[in-house]
A and B are shown apart, each in its own frame.
Chain A
Amino acid sequence: MTTTPDAVPDDRAGESAGAAPAAQPGTGSDHALAVRNLSKTFGSGDEAVRAVEDVNFAVEPGTVVGLLGPNGAGKTTTIKSILGLVVPDAGEVRVAGVDVRESAREAYRHVGAMLEGARNVYWKLTPRENMEFFAAVGDEDPAALRERHDALLDQLSLTEKADEPVNDLSQGQKQKVSLACALARDVDVALLDEPTLGLDVESSVELRREIRRLADNEETTVVLSSHDMDVVEDVCDRVIVMNDGGVVADDSVANLVDVFRSHVYRVDLDGTLPGRARDRLRDRYDAREFERVAGGNPDGERFVVSLAEPARLYDLMDDLREAGLTVVGLDSLEADLESAFLELTDGAAGPDGARPAGETGESPAEGAAPADGGVSGRE
């Protein structure tokens, strides 16, 4: 697991990191996508904004990877750098072994992209016309891809709408057209930026199914960014969490969730915490979500803690006892990807701001963790 220890308080992080050999992104030819030491700062001087710094990861063929992060985390810059739409200050991106900076046109043969949902298709054209157009833009003969286009239209439930202008379609259908255009020709890597944004449940499920099919049946590598945790949890083999321009976690969904499952507790007290005790809990146990519970005599208080290791629970109890409070309830919270994500991004964005993976010495390139996430394949 490439999660930085500071960001993920888990004693198994080290095991995971040590268990798998560290792959050096970009050096192996078996990766469908490799990003190595990617850095980009926009502007200069006082107005300089560091978008990404020392980002490293590599993705194996047929894998679906979710790129998660809060706004400004660097997801879009990373995706645009992969696509050559942003020129990085440093680093290397290889798609199917081809360096995007040195041989952009060759690299584009291997990649399709769906950016900003339903944009990037022509709304006045029909889905079929769009697919044919973008196949030709991708240096393919649309006539030779007719069968592929028919199959895609069918798989995305667009056959009946194939010859209607995109403008007349629903939002979900428009996004499917956008996906179909990204796949209008055979590509090794598909980059999907918020593919399910604004979709109804049914369309979202259909789109997820199609993404999964691409990876499982066609060995297409899919990198998708999304704010929808359900989508990521449902469809991704692996998740890369970014915060403040760096990768703070890179692992399978199951492992990420597992890290938090046992060590997040909700604590109920028989009284309210004095301000100083609350600050101490915040500092020592990452306590949060303080909430007064009325109805008792006196009123109680409740909060949530994330513990680096189970043994820390004893320390917590001692501290509470010293504050003269009794624990009346203790629940181990079931973690999901969303809680893991919140932990990771909050943890990284501490009082001093985020710390990119590179600064912690945990960057995949430095060998602290496997660049391919340590966990491959769909479990």
Chain B
Amino acid sequence: MSDATPAAGDGTAASRARATGGGDSPGRGTRGTGGYWTLFVAMVKHRVAHLRRYPVNTLSGLANAMILFAVIFFGGRALDSRALADSLEGIIVGFFLFSIATTAFAASAWGVTRESQWGTLEQLYMSPLGFGPAMLTRTVVRLIESFVWGAGTLAFMLLLTGETLAFPVVTLLVVGVLAVAPALGMGFGFAALALLYKRVENIFQVVNFAFVGLISAPVSGVVWARLLPVSQGSYVLGLVMREGRRLWELPSTELGLLVATAIGYFVAGYAVFMWASRRAREQGLMGHY
């Protein structure tokens, strides 16, 4: 070790031996020089490498969403073009949210399952930066990715339908993140199930369908529906994109409820996940698949 900063617990013979620079060490680095930003950059590079290395897989994922929307659009127009035209803006906003919510959910739920299958989850668990922060960093990267895919799908939908929607960028980002946060929380919750019960992928599939119902829930008519995950976000996102309202123009109660549901579901999901990781370690299930 060249110029190691002694960490807590150093002073052992191992550390002392290193401090004196014994052996032909292959270029030791310093300890603790990384940090969360380095981890974030590494996670971004990791994800980009995945996507670039398998372009067909990457593009087919995007194409799936576009094709699905095209089927809905042309199918709906063939059945009742007037009804479709009346609700097209809502469908586009809803589909946009569906696209990013399912991607974000998959990043949490499927992501943990796959990491567990690959045996990489244990490595993330053993991060000196902490398992929770490592998983959160991973989630942020996937959230950004979900917005990129969502934006691509949205552009396609607008081009296909010829519709126009408002894009107050800052408002859209804030509301978008708050709208998707419950999906991330749900993802962590189901990832917790995967940690403890392993093969639960079939439940994940069902949740994808549940998002359709949650996004289209009649929040203006049914008050309690606003408390459902993603539903309030869908409603407020509609106000932003269809009516062009800015953050400060949104009703404070609607915004407050959006923030409350976003934080509530996300924190609850994350807490359940961390509890499950503790249980998994107690039961010897961590890394066991």
Contact = CB atoms under 8 A, between A and B. Distances in A.
Contact of B123 (A125, A134, A142): A134
Interface size class of chain B, counting residues whose CB lies under 8 Å from the partner chain: 35 or more
A132 B42 contact: yes
A165 B30 CA distance: 28
B286 interface: yes
Interface in A268-321: none
B29 A145 contact: yes
Nearest to B283: A42
Contact of A105 (B1, B34, B122, B130): B130
A134 B50 CA distance: 15
B134 interface: yes
A30 interface: yes
Contacts of A145: 27, 29
A186 B4 contact: yes
Given A98-B8, A115-B122, A129-B45, A148 B281 contact: no
A233 interface: no
Contacts of B32: 109, 139-140
Interface stretch (B16-24, B182-190, B224-232): B16-24
Given A61-B17, A129-B49, A140 B29 contact: yes
A111 B7 CA distance: 13
Nearest to A151: B26
Interface string A55-92: 00000111000000000000001001001111100000
A115 B122 CA distance: 9
B127 interface: yes
A221 interface: yes
Contacts of A60: 13
A30 B127 contact: no
B246 interface: no
Contacts of B130: 105
Given A107-B9, A119-B118, A148-B29, A137 B281 contact: no
B29 A116 contact: no
Interface of B: 1, 4, 7-15, 17-18, 22-35, 38-39, 41-43, 45-46, 49-50, 53-54, 118-120, 122-130, 134, 278, 281-284, 286-287
The list of the 3 closest CB pairs from A to B, nearest first, reads A151-B26, A147-B27, A119-B119
